[in-house]
Structure 1
Amino acid sequence: MIKVAIIGAGAISSAHIESYLQFKERCTIVALCDLYPEKAEAKREQFGLDAVIVKDYKELLDREIDLVSVCMPPFVHAPVTIDFLNAGSHVIVEKPMASSLEECDAMIEVAERSGKVLSVVAQNRFRNPIMKLKHVLDSGLAGKILHAQIDSFWWRGHCYYDLWWRGTWEKEGGGPTLNHAVHHIDALLWMLGQPSELQAFMSNVAHDNAEVEDLSIAMLKYPNGSLGQITSSVVHHGEEQQFIFQGQNARISAPWRVTASESLPNGFPKRDQSLEEKIQHYYDNLEDLPYEGHAAQIDNVLHAIETGEPVLIDGVSGRNTLELIMSIYKSATTGEKVTLPLPKDDPFYTREGVMNNAPRFYEKGAAIENFADLTITTGSNYKGNS
């Protein structure tokens, strides 16, 4: 039986707890930790857990915890993860992996040295529309991908950034590019790989109580000449998120849609119904995942611990995602085109470098200690016609 500890009892912790409880024959939650113990107590009562509650996570380092879910603000992901890896625990750390590439490298190094599993939460890979889209891309039926469009559209009210650690480069590490589009960027890298260069812009158009951006747009260029674009936002009503891949043979997307064209003698398009039906048949015959979202990723991590097989989303994946995000911030800050990868002497490699170079759109205003524990959105708006 795998013994689990949840570090941080904020809103996202419920997704972890609910997921672990789906695998009661494989794991048990033995500890909850939060700086505000009453929040942990509320979770224990809500889910009927037989778990010890601590205020300081270091109290758990010598308790032989097998697996830890780190559900804390990004600026403490690295030290908490490293401490538990060194103590012999496997770790699932919430997105983003850390607040700097330097911290990511330190986390990966400790995971490799300890031989423990390090997995970074990117639960959207484990959703049927995204997993099936990946399989269709890999099939090659759509042909070479010529253009990718990623819309990471979210909406957050002005008071969202009143929480004490949000909206600052020091504590949150960035705005929606880092903390919301991270899921979409992870999936894009999984599907197409890392671009070779990018140009980006960012602004704060609706949240004058935050230092960070609330809207960014990045234009990507891949080594083969293909182009892409990523919009990261917390100002889009409806939160309509999508992936669109324009292949040489067909357009495919999540929410699912397939459209194919063939050329008339004059170069204008004619619908290629035969190819559309072929791709649709391939898509329809893909099996659904047994679990989705956080539950599916936790199942993947439990399986890795039980069998020694690799996880789908490891520390290197988490680092690659952060590298693209930091490249967007660098380009949007300097106004220059950025070439990847970022070297270790780049100012945007370290947390201090980001803090010293990133723009402050506004001075951080109100600082509320806690919000009520309400339902949150975690990005599952890909169902469409799937």
Structure 2
Amino acid sequence: MSIKTVAIVGCGIGRSHIVEGYLPHPDKFRVAAICDLNEERLKAVGDEFGIEKRTTSFTELLGDDEIDIIDICTPPGIHREQVVAALAAGKHVVCEKPLTGSLAAVDEIVEAEKSAKGALMPIFQYRYGDGIQKAKSIIDAGIAGKFYMGAVETFWLRKPEYYAVPWRGKWATELGGVLVTHALHLHDMLFHLAGPAARVFGRVATRVNNIEVEDCASVSLQMQNGAFVSLSCTLGSQQQISRLRLHFENVTFESNHDPYAPGKGPWQIIAANDEVQARIDAAVGDWRPVAPRFNTQMARFHDYLSGHGPLPVTSADARRALELVTAIYQSSDSGADIALPIGRDSPKYADWRAKTR
């Protein structure tokens, strides 16, 4: 099994990638370089983990033949250009969410992938952990049955000091608010378990902080399978909670409430009767623990690169999550119910900030 060399670009959330995603797998990855414009942070992270190669130049990493993977953890406003450049340089690419800031930009990245030697894996680490993976196993086995209804809540707290970081809270650099930066995780978890949405009605507002982007949202979904789901998001909750509660014909699932690791166990898995419980016990009786967040996502990425499994998160997954964001913004602007999929004819396809007429 080959060890892949990694360059981390952006040492903020990039430090979490190192701690949770790469250090637990020394047989799979070696962080060979770090890049950050903040030289104090560059030195601190480099010293902490003994990483010798440190640079403020993203371009320098692209030309380094010793680097297999470019892991992009920079502010969202520059993701698209960095992903496209890294793919053009022949690198594998990991990119933090949001992958980019419009469906047009996602589709540009998808086109770049088609001729790239390397693979692109967007980050959706909340998919991983014992709780969500057990739920998915039960659903995929056909035990849960028809999906009836669900509720997804992203109730977090962000105060003015959070927005003291210059790129946060601005359309040009953060690309959006609670829907793009915070709730995107939970909404991807919903799609991962229950499939895509068909229709979207939503409202967004800025009520908590003095920022450009939204910090509250209320959304109603009709899923392709006919189920109804409500999405509620705020950055003004005094108790931080991330919660999914999904009601199926035979099982109700409720995630743990950890705001930053809702995929980990235990989840409530409530069977309709003893017969269903017996089927669940048989399906997960020899269950092997699934480590949460970056730990499992990075391990499965290495499996894919080694030819031993599927790509754990794809650009299509990222597009589906950002299509939901686009539909919510369009619905909020127009007051209309929006049908998916969204194509090039949408007023929001190229720019979420474009007004809907």
TM-score for the superposition, normalised by structure 2: 0.90
Instruction: Work out the CA distance in 2 between the residues paired with 1:179 and 1:309.
Output: 29
Relative to structure 1, the CA distance from residue 57 to residue 339 in structure 2 (aligned partners, 3 Å threshold; closer, same or farther) is same
Offset of residue 205 of structure 1:
1.7
Instruction: Work out the CA distance in 1 between the residues paired with 2:349 and 2:179.
Output: 16
Correspondence 1:75 to 2:73: no
Moved more, 90-99 or 130-139: 130-139
Relative to structure 1, the CA distance from residue 289 to residue 107 in structure 2 (aligned partners, 3 Å threshold; closer, same or farther) is farther
Residue aligning to 2:235: 234
Offset of residue 233 of structure 1:
2.0
Q: In structure 1, the residue corresponding to 2:32 is in which secondary structure?
A: strand
Residue aligning to 1:153: 155
Residue aligning to 1:355: 353
Instruction: Work out the CA distance in 1 between the residues paired with 2:269 and 2:31.
Output: 43
Residue aligning to 2:44: 42
- AA at the equivalent of 1:340: L
Moved more, 247-256 or 80-89: 247-256
Offset of residue 104 of structure 1:
1.1
Offset of residue 275 of structure 1:
4.4
Q: Deviations over 1:130-185 (max 9, x none)?
A: 11111122233232011021112211122212221111111111111111111111
- AA at the equivalent of 2:310: P
CA contact (8 A) 1:169 1:354 kept: no
Residue aligning to 1:374: none
- AA at the equivalent of 2:352: V
Instruction: Work out the CA distance in 1 between the residues paired with 2:177 and 2:60.
Output: 32
Offset of residue 308 of structure 1:
6.6
TM-score for the superposition, normalised by structure 1: 0.84
Offset of residue 25 of structure 1:
2.6
| Matched residue count | 342
Q: In structure 2, the residue corresponding to 1:357 is in which secondary structure?
A: coil
Q: In structure 1, the residue corresponding to 2:189 is in which secondary structure?
A: helix
Q: In structure 2, the residue corresponding to 1:211 is in which secondary structure?
A: coil
- AA at the equivalent of 1:242: R
Decide which structure has the larger Cα Rg and report it.
1
Instruction: Work out the CA distance in 2 between the residues paired with 1:59 and 1:298.
Output: 24
Q: In structure 2, the residue corresponding to 1:42 is in which secondary structure?
A: helix
Residue aligning to 1:171: 173
Residue aligning to 2:333: 333
Q: Deviations over 1:174-216 (max 9, x none)?
A: 11111111111111112222211110011122102x0111110
- AA at the equivalent of 2:345: D
Moved more, 100-109 or 69-78: 100-109
Q: Percent identity?
A: 27
Residue aligning to 1:218: 219
Of 89, 100, 125, the match for 2:102: 100
- AA at the equivalent of 2:48: Q
Residue aligning to 2:304: 304
Instruction: Work out the CA distance in 1 between the residues paired with 2:141 and 2:305.
Output: 30
Question: Where does structure 1 lack aligned partners over 5 or more consecutive residues?
Answer: 261-271, 359-386
Moved more, 223-232 or 128-137: 223-232
